[in-house]
Structure 1
Amino acid sequence: MVLFLTTLIQGLARYSAKLSLQTVLVVPFVLQIFTAVGLTGYLSFRNGQEAVNNIAAQLLSEISLRVEQNLQTFLETPHLINQSNADDINLGALDVENFAALEKHFFNQSKIFKKVSLIGFANNNQEFISTEKLDDGSLTIRTSGKSTNYNLRTYTTNNQGKRITIKDFGKPYDTRRRNWYNKPIQTKAPVWSEVYPHNSGIALYIAASQPVYNQEGNLKGVLLSNLNLQKIGDFLEQLKIGKTGISFIIERPSGTLVATSTNEKPFRVNSAVAKLPENKIQSFLATSSNDLKTQATAKYLETQLGNLGSIKSQQQLEFKVKGKRQFIQVLPFQDNKGIDWLIVVVVPENDFMEKINANTRTSIILCVIALMVATGFGIVVVRWITEPVIALKKSATALAKGEWEKTLEINRSDELGELAKSFNSMANQVQTTLKALSENESRLQQFLEAVPVGISIHDTTGQIYYANRTAKQFLGIGVLPKAKSEELTAVYQIYQADENQLYPTLQLPIVRSLAGETIEVDDIELHQANKIIPIKVFSTPIFDENGKIVYAIAAFIDITERKQAEAILANYNQILQRQVTERTLDLEREISERKQVEETLREQKEILQTIFDRIPVMICFSNHKNEIQFVNPEYERVMGWKNEELKNVNIEYLLAECLCSSKERALAQEHMLAEEEKWLDLNIKIRDGSYLDTSWIKIQLTNGAIIGIGQDITNRKLAENLSILEERNRMAREIHDTLMQTFTGISIHLGGALQVISVDGKAAQEHITLARELSRTGLAEARASVQGLRSQSDSERVSPFLANNNLCNAFNQIVTQSSTFTDSHINYQVQGIPYLLPLEVENQLLRIGQEALSNAVKHAKANVIQIELAYEKTQCVLWVKDNGQGFAIDCMNFGNSFGILGMRERSTRIGAELTINSKPGQGTNVMVSYKRCII
């Protein structure tokens, strides 16, 4: 023991020798106080943690119970609605065949039950009716069946539940393929469906389904009440779980996230392109949640408990997230209809530790205060002991920094006083010596700065230790960069003379001098941003007293003027000889060019004469007196006068001969006097007395002469008349395809409204609403047609059905629209794999199909209309067949039938083959075949 204490004391003595006197005196005293206070605070903290565990257990149990009770009520409501509706159906209060009554009943229920998102019914005929509550609280009607061509159509409603407008025409919808429809039929009891995405792709639903049977046990259909999982999350979000606690629900055994209080949606959007909106989203595992706390908790449960289905009762657990303890309450939630969920509540320990942490902070503050007081007291005592030593240390430090004016003042007569006097004497001597050295250094630096030669001093690594002002100007720098030998050429842009290459590092004069050489070179260039400076360098090493190289000094001057003089002298004779040779070649070139110009002029004269004689326009040249000098052969051919006959004839006389109308003569004279060069159309009389349509332009030369250029425009006039006729035909087809077909539909709906207005006001209102929609469509097409006419385009206006669709979808929309104003059954089929056709072809095929469908409804009085669109490899074929009254092809006057005439013109326009087969009483078959151009 004695040996141990001896060793410890020796070790402390050695360690304390390295510490300051103040530290050795103060630290032991401070440590005693700090240890006592810290131990008290630690024991208080531990007692607080035990209290936190008890409070956390109580809070978690209370919150879990509240979630369970509210969730029980929330999930019972949809099944109570279904059971109520099933009782009404069994008692006869609700008729499942009367969809209008079901629609009104569901609408009233949706207004009462705020938390249920959808209430509906589906039968085994693929018919479906429901009311759905949107996020903004408004109610919509969603239905599919024969009337909607089995597409899920959505209607907006007013406060009374009346349908207003079609919000979405929808996609094909077969309830028999849905889990919520099949599952209750299989179990023959009320059940919960699987979680599935809403048709719009904006939410996840879970459906409470119940089958309905008649007295014979036959299935009538399935009742449906849907819950939006986000509503459960909204409830969880309203709970106050400590300060930062969360609660979430996961499905067993999959671990899929059902709802959470973190405002995170229980689904994610797929990045891949989806055919249907409902395929855009999908649920995800809680272990992949974006919320760190949810994800960590789910992973812990999965790791700690293994199979989530093994949890049979309430459990309390704890784990750490980023080193912070979390309390967990896990509560199974099940019912007899298929729900098997886990309710998880997570509360961080920090939510309960606020007061305990406050006490801990108070203890720390008290420890710090005690430490500060003890330290202050110790410093006062130690300062009284060590003040003379510290003063001596400060004076020595100031002396080392060059602060000579600070002297040591210790008014003592002991050893420290004598030491202070000796220290002040030594400081004065050192100050005098350093001042002399500084003055010598300043004079040397002034000498170096004044020298008109660049001087640089480099240390043994090649880095510049000093450079005078001239050197910095040469190098183009203000502040010396830290560049060693291997970096000098790149940093200072040192190149070999007359070569675009950096100077070799090992050949640099300063590098060679650092190796012991004294060298002089003049093959170096300094490249700056806008100039190149050739320099001559002299370099030599500098040795210390032991003969070791410690520096190398380089001196360099600008030799630009010398290089220029050498280059001028070397190239003078070559320049003189080259100039003589170039002048001789210039003379020869001028002679050759003069001959080439003469030859070019002769060739151009021949070309111009050939053009003048053969150009297919009339040319008449007159001098400044308006006397005709000559005309070209084309003028002679068209007008009938020869060149010799018109020589020196005044052009005004010729105008009086050719223009019988005084108005046209005035126009011609005004055209000749105008400065602007433009064409003027004139109907003139030629020599044989006939009249000809011509167009003339006048070109005024600077000497007053006039060149008159004219052309025969008879063929152009004929083409313009044909173009006007073609435009009239196109306008007729546009009016027939848009307004006439729209007015036909409006007329049918208004007639239907008149027939039922006295007995069924609702049906009459539906006819009038559809007639209004058709009138809006017709008005839009009429405006588009007018816009097309204003654009002066040769191509016909593209049908609005093709604006954002392909040909298949455009026909589908037309069939859907036509089905609303006719009792005829319209079937539409597409054969083969659709491919794109030219837009003009698709537009004409769609117009022909519209016309054939309109004729079958309006004239043929058909009960069944079949439309087939076949995409074959070499051709695209359109059939429109009906079982109407038909007509005799041989007796048909196609000139009076605008529809059939328009179909023929359209098929001819795109090069398609149109075939019409019909007999009285046997219906009509219209076929259009368009041959593809396969490359």
Structure 2
Amino acid sequence: MSALQNDGAQSIRPPGEQAGTQPDGTSGADAPRRMPDELLHELRVHQVELERQNEALHNVRLSLEDARDRYVDLFEFAPVGYLTLTRQGTIDEINLTGTNLLGAERKQVLGRRFAHFVLPEDRDRWHVYLVDVAKHSGSRDCELRLLRGEGACFYARLNGIGVTSTADRIAVRITLTDISEQKRMEALNESELRLRMAMQAMSGGIYDWDRRTGSLYWSSDLSQVCGIAPRDFRPDRRWWRQRVHPEDLRLIRPVIVSALKTRTNQFQVEYRIRHEDGRWGYVADRGQIVRDATGRVVRVVGAMTDITASKHAEAALLRLNDALEEKVVERTAEVEARSQALAEAERFARATIDSLSSSLCVLDEQGRIIATNRTWREWAIGTGDRVARARGCQDCRATPFRIPCWSAETATSVHDAIQDLLARKRRTFSLEYECRAPAGSSWFEMHVTRFPGDGAVRLVVTHDEISERKRAAEDQKRTAERIKQLGLHLETLREQQSAMIARELHDELGATLTMLKLGLATTAEEVASSEPLHTKLYGLLEQADAALRVVKRVSSSLRPATLDTLGLIATIRWYVTQFSRNTGIATVLRLPEYVRLSQLGNTTVFRIIQEGLTNVAKHSGASKVTINARKHDGALIVRLVDNGSGITESDLQRPDSFGLMGMRERAEHLGGTLSIGSGPDKGTQLMLRIPLDS
């Protein structure tokens, strides 16, 4: 004790105070008597304070334990489930209510993913909801279907919020509420709403009579069915006897009595009821009798429908049936008359078809012959097709008939064409073939046509002998060829005569006029000076010059001498220059240096260019012409284009376009081609192609 007191005295000595002197001025000898008492007093004070603080701490600890117990009770037995999930959706904490909702014990739930308790159809929505809650600070709601125990399912509302726990780990706290009853109530409300809407959509009303209480319920539409205002609608036995037609009352009673006795528990009657305005309406009453366990009637439930409109419609239908029966009698007479007319028309059509000069048969969708005319039958006998003379050929699917002069290729093409016609891939097919015989050959034309429309497929096959037409066509072709050759021969003769006349004019008449001019000039110089005579002689000299120019122009127009001396390219350049000088139309030339053609080829190319430029000057109204000639792939290609008004298709097809026809004939005679049409800039374009070895 003294040691404690000494230690305490040393511990409470004020700093800087000497050991031998006391604060009150007493000497160091009195200090040992006072220090233990004061120290003991202070220790007791501290002890009391500590005891009071310990008691307060004990009370706080008890309060905390009590609060903790209350919190645990509130947490465990809350009306909703509380769960704490990791960010990955694993259950960290769950209260007792939550385990009851999930139908499992706490140890079976902790550590499992919450998605295991979500219905598979809703798991995608759950994962989206979990990510959304973890990302945002506010709370989020979601409704899911969860599994409880052995596969039972219930509706739950989830309210979650993301929180950050220790170690900065994000967790999700969720409250779980069972809303299955709410969902059932909503479903019931929807069913009730649909039922109410269905009742409103009905064209009638319902009633419910309780025998035990005597109460009668009816819908608001029942008064409308009966044609009575709602305020006056008070249905009872007396009211029904007054409103229902007396005749119908006698009919209704046996039906209801029979339902009660036979226990069919159902009845259906129709009767008339008097509306408020005095007119009678029709109603259909369908009822259901409800019995108790002993078989006694306890309720009658039924529905009444206004069938006035249908009854009136039935009456109208009966009247219409009577009218229809009269119409049927009339129509029957008309059908008989039309049948006779149809038979007569069929006979007439048969006679008409048999009178046709063309051989005709009809094929069905299988390719079988189902009808022929007389000419066909006679023709089939003549060609040796004995089978077709009877009831149709036996191998109709391969070929509808046999022609002895057909080759294998011809038969195959006919077969393929008929199959395409039957498959609706084409509408017509034509074939010309020749049958050779020792006495001579004959030509035939076969034409196959499919019936129009979407009905059954029918093919009409016609055969006509076209020997005369073929011979006439061959004669016409030979005549046309001879006329063409004659025209080309005449053109050649004309060119030769033009060349001869040009040479005669140039050589004979030109020489004569030249000698005359020289004689006149010499005479004018030798004659004595006489003004009138000189004037007359000079006038004659000018006339001689004019005559020489005319001779030169005429001979050049008949056939340019340069065509035989300088060649085609030089002649084109000379002629185009003269054309531009005479017409004022600008020309652009793009010509090769040299082209080697036959004399006839040179003449043809020059004459076509000459005719083309003449047409430009006469008809196009152009101000510019471009001539482009080039050698390509063994041919000379000449392109003449103007910027005029162009040429129409009707102008090309005119029968009096002799210039165009002459140009084409010249080109074709040398194995070339000529095309004329509108150019890219609306002008006229002439394209000539002549082989270089023509």
TM-score (normalised: structure 1): 0.20
Higher relative contact order (CA 8 A, sep 6+): 1
TM-score (normalised: structure 2): 0.26
